[in-house]
Amino acid sequence: MSEELLSKRALTIEPSLTLEISAKAKKLAEEGIDICNLSAGEPDFDAPEEVISATSKAIFDGFTKYGPAAGDLELRNAIANKLELQNNIKYDFENILVTNGAKQAIYNLFQILLNEGDEVIIPSPYWLSYPQIVKLAGGKPIILETSPKNGFKIDGEQLKDKISSKTKFIIINSPNNPTGKVLCENELLEIIEIIRKHDQINILSDEIYELILNNTVNHIPIVSLAKDLEDRIYTVNGFAKGWAMTGWRVGYLAGRKDVIKSSSSLQSQSTSNVCSFVQKGAIEALKIKKEYFEEVNLIYDERRQVLSEGLKDIENIYLNPPNGAFYAFPQLPNTNISSVDFCKKALEDFGLVVVPGIAFGDDQCIRISCATSKSNILDGLKRFKKAINKFY
Ligand SMILES: Cc1ncc(COP(=O)(O)O)c(C=O)c1O
């Protein structure tokens, strides 16, 4: 397509690095080649039955028309209630916008709050859409590097160095995609302490993996530790990961009322309301008891452990073991081969599908998903070991 045809905005969007590899994997599988796919970014479970029943009932009950742009009132109230109980923040429905997944919550927020040239600090490794969404809103991503050998810790001094008069946001994502790191209270307090001193800086806390945790750690919502910063903290969350509802497209943005109102206006002029009957399913999802998540986490715990232990047994691979989400982000032996080339070769020679770390800001790592069966993980580990032995 001619570059002249495309808007300047469209030209800032980078194509997804993972697409090429997925397309190749699909082609090889169609040719009958045995593929082991450890690239999934979504749970391999179905959504809970009660959610499916409530959603289909909602269709028969006629919740099939346009609804309010900001979301179903009952759902907005239920989310406000959840946040009050779990995040210890006094919200009502006007603090909540229901969105087409957490992604649209982030997109709306930056469209509403960023001006041309505003800077957004993004600790790396990061979820690959953050820099793109920031750029689409005219903002400038400022990458703050963390390293596996340092436990992916956000260093306070380095954070201070990245702050300028143009800094408008920092993104915090715990549990993290792709590293599986869960920030502890002290780490969060250190970040809060630094941000507190800069009135112009807001925090976007992406908590989409809050329910996928191993039993040694807790998820701490950042807003629960910084009552005085309530007006500067925006929480993004959704039903995709915890409830295995990726394709349902329902998430939310929580924050100050004037910003939510403005984001709702943006939504009313772009996508309108989230699917009416899916929102009824989301209300049911919020009623599910903690035992359900405990059971799901037992499965993820075992898989995460199988993956971590398998990776640790491979010579020259460094792993900072994940405590949450469903990924591991091992470091390759050196930078002689780019992460994209490694992933291409691992696919071509060993039928292994994993995601290049460069997509997440670290070219020496790769992302391996454990949102798949234990036997698939074990098979993938064998192939990964062979690839390491062959290419390094
Ligand atoms: C860290 C993170 N945030 C947000 C999202 C987007 O979630 P949703 O599917 O609700 O838009 C993802 C999806 O992979 C993610 O990994």
pLDDT in tens, the chain (392 residues): 667 899 988 888 887 777 777 888 888 889 999 999 999 889 999 999 999 999 999 999 999 999 999 999 999 999 999 999 999 999 999 999 999 999 999 999 999 999 999 999 999 999 999 999 999 999 999 999 999 999 999 999 999 999 999 999 999 999 999 999 999 999 999 999 999 999 999 999 999 999 999 989 999 999 999 999 999 999 999 999 999 999 999 999 999 999 999 999 999 999 999 999 999 999 999 999 999 999 999 999 999 999 999 999 999 999 999 999 999 999 999 999 999 999 999 999 999 999 999 999 999 999 999 999 999 999 999 999 999 999 99
Comparing CA positions, the residue from 215, 381, 188 lying closest to residue 298 is 215
Integer Cα distance of 129 and 140 in angstroms = 13
CB contact set of 355 (below 8 Å; sequence gap of 6+): 17, 18, 21, 39, 178, 343, 366, 367, 368, 369
What is the extent of the structural domain holding 268? Answer: 50-285
Alpha-carbon torsion angle 137, 361, 338, 158, nearest 10:
130
Regarding whether 296 and 253 lie in a shared domain, the answer is: no
Regarding whether 236 and 299 lie in a shared domain, the answer is: no
CB contact set of 95 (below 8 Å; sequence gap of 6+): 80, 83, 254, 255, 256, 257, 260
Tokens encoding 9:
């905005």
Q: How many domains does the chain have?
A: 2
Quote the ligand 1 centre to 273 CA distance (angstroms). 19
| Angle formed at CA 32 by CA 31 and CA 34, multiple of 5 degrees | 125
100 within domain boundaries: yes
Quote the ligand 1 centre to 103 CA distance (angstroms). 6
Regarding whether 76 and 222 lie in a shared domain, the answer is: yes
Which residues lie across from 124 on neighbouring strands? 145
What's the pLDDT score for residue 194? 98
What's the pLDDT score for residue 146? 97
Tokens encoding 94:
């006007």
Ligand 1 proximity of 241 Cβ (cutoff 6 Å): no
Comparing CA positions, the residue from 126, 95, 35 lying closest to residue 259 is 95
Regarding whether 80 and 19 lie in a shared domain, the answer is: no
Regarding whether 359 and 280 lie in a shared domain, the answer is: no
What's the pLDDT score for residue 1? 60
Q: What is the CATH classification number for the domain harbouring 57?
A: 3.40.640.10
Quote the ligand 1 centre to 31 CA distance (angstroms). 32
Quote the ligand 1 centre to 5 CA distance (angstroms). 30
Amino acid at 160: K
Integer Cα distance of 107 and 358 in angstroms = 22
Regarding whether 162 and 73 lie in a shared domain, the answer is: yes
Q: How many CB atoms lie within 10 A of CB 355?
A: 27
Which residue carries 């206006």 as its tokens?
Answer: 265
- Predicted TM-score (pTM) of the model is 0.96
Regarding whether 104 and 132 lie in a shared domain, the answer is: yes
**Ramachandran quadrant class, 309 (left: phi over 0; alpha: psi -120 to 50; beta: rest):** alpha
Pairing of strands 233-238, 251-254: antiparallel
Regarding whether 366 and 245 lie in a shared domain, the answer is: no
1 within domain boundaries: no
Number of separate helices (H) and strands (E) present in the chain: 13, 12
Q: How many CA atoms lie within 13 A of 219 on its CB side?
A: 24
Regarding whether 149 and 175 lie in a shared domain, the answer is: yes
Q: Of the residues 285, 318, 336, which one is the last residue of a structural domain?
A: 285
Dihedral (CA of 79, 80, 84, 85) sign: negative
Quote the ligand 1 centre to 345 CA distance (angstroms). 28
What's the pLDDT score for residue 368? 97
Dihedral (CA of 41, 79, 63, 266) sign: negative
Q: What is the CATH classification number for the domain harbouring 378?
A: 3.90.1150.10
306 within domain boundaries: yes
Ligand 1 proximity of 249 Cβ (cutoff 6 Å): no
CB contact set of 170 (below 8 Å; sequence gap of 6+): 120, 121, 122, 123, 159, 191, 195, 201, 202, 203, 204
Ligand 1 proximity of 41 Cβ (cutoff 6 Å): yes
Q: Of the residues 285, 306, 325, which one is the last residue of a structural domain?
A: 285
Integer Cα distance of 281 and 53 in angstroms = 8
3 within domain boundaries: no
Regarding whether 29 and 98 lie in a shared domain, the answer is: no
Q: Of the residues 231, 257, 285, which one is the last residue of a structural domain?
A: 285
Ligand 1 proximity of 244 Cβ (cutoff 6 Å): no
Ligand 1 proximity of 356 Cβ (cutoff 6 Å): no
Ligand 1 proximity of 42 Cβ (cutoff 6 Å): no
What's the pLDDT score for residue 23? 81
Regarding whether 300 and 250 lie in a shared domain, the answer is: no
Regarding whether 181 and 32 lie in a shared domain, the answer is: no
What's the pLDDT score for residue 13? 86
What's the pLDDT score for residue 260? 98
Ligand 1 proximity of 322 Cβ (cutoff 6 Å): no
Which atom, in ligand 1's list, is nearest to the CA of 106? 4
> Among 129, 207, 252, 329, which residue has the most ligand 1 atoms within 8 Å of its CB, making it the best to mutate?
129
Ligand 1 proximity of 35 Cβ (cutoff 6 Å): no
pLDDT in tens, 72-100: 999 999 999 999 999 999 999 999 999 99
**Cβ(242)–Cβ(16) below 8 Å:** no
What's the pLDDT score for residue 3? 72
pLDDT in tens, 294-324: 999 999 999 999 999 999 999 999 999 999 9
